[in-house]
Amino acid sequence: MRDVHPLYVAAVGIVGAAAGASLDPLGQRLADLSRAADDRRRAARQARLAEDAAAEGPDASPVSDGSSGAGAVPAAGTTPSVPELPAPQHDHEPVISDGTAAPAEPGPVPVRHLLPSGHSTPRMAGAAVVTGGLWAATALRFGQHLVVMPFLVFLALGVVVSVTDLSHRLIPRKLLYAAVALILPLEVIVSAVDDTWHAVLLAVIGGASAYAALFLVWFFAPYFRGNAMGFGDVNLSGVIGLTVGYLGLVHVYLAFLSGFVIGLVFGLVFAAVSGTGRKTYFPFGPSLCAGAVVAIFWGGTLAEHVFHTSS
């Protein structure tokens, strides 16, 4: 921690609290719009399938209705059954890559509404307090320097996407795009002032590597896709890598190591308390954001004492 003026830390914290209170309803609005857009797309696809089936007529290729074996043929004069599309995937909901619904078999039960959605004064106040505290801690950690700016942006983003993930089980893409549009230019400005261009290069490498790693996990591990990890988490990982990578690639590794450990611990505790056991899954975005916070504030210490590497 650096020796900084208390008024500076307090001022940054107050601005952070205001930012958190302002971004919370925005995040809820974007989450509602994202879910509505997914529902409209699903309805449009259902309508197109129904139109195609009606146009083909009763002599069309057989379509299974799921009640008998494959190749069941509809009776003359009836409309072939239209396969139901899965519910919109949003950030976490399970769906097979070919667009068909997942098999109806016992599986993990999603945990929903860990936080209330829509207008909620307590939730908004909590977001303000958490964001303000994180901003004040960042000011104390980095001092009166421009380098605080990209981290302040990320921490504000981390709070709002964690809230939307806990309230809607989705992470609005527009928030992530806006964060990248702010964080990367700020890192370039800081590097130009300090002549530390290697830090920007590490940030870009960190963002690309994190995105690629979690994309591979999401794509090739059936348990993670839909159940424990949605594509919103993959996009979020790129933003985390871009931000934390500015401090070093070791910090990126520590961010995701910490995030997975935090997620595992939270999952075990929640399953034990709720009594749902292993058949429960919950939003993973908040754990990833918490891991990033660990790397930002304590990454250097962990790298030195755990991995015996100076950072």
* Residue 20 · residue 156 · CB < 8 Å: yes
For the segment 178-195, what is each residue's pLDDT rounded down to a tens digit? Answer: 999 999 999 999 999 999
Helix (H, G, I), strand (E, B), or coil: what is residue 93?
A: coil
Specify the higher pLDDT residue, 127 or 269: 127
Higher pLDDT, 142 or 67: 142
Please give the model's pTM, rounded to 2 decimal places: 0.79
The residue that leads in pLDDT, 58 or 293, is 293
User: 3-state DSSP call for residue 287?
Assistant: helix
Average pLDDT of the segment spanning 168-173: 91
196: number of Cβ within 10 Å: 15
Count CA atoms closer than 13 A to 98's CA, side-chain side.
Answer: 3
pLDDT per residue as tens digits for the range 139-153: 999 999 999 999 999
| pLDDT above 90 for 87 | no
Which pair of structure tokens corresponds to residue 219?
Answer: 């794509």
- Asked if 64 and 71 touch (Cβ cutoff 8 Å), the reply is yes
Give the span between the Cα atoms of 253 and 221, in whole angstroms. Answer: 20
The rounded distance, in Å, linking the Cα atoms of 192 and 177 is 23
Interval 11-64: pLDDT, tens: 999 999 999 999 999 999 999 998 888 889 889 999 888 888 888 766 544 444
pLDDT at 100: 42
**What integer best gives the mean pLDDT of the chain?**
82
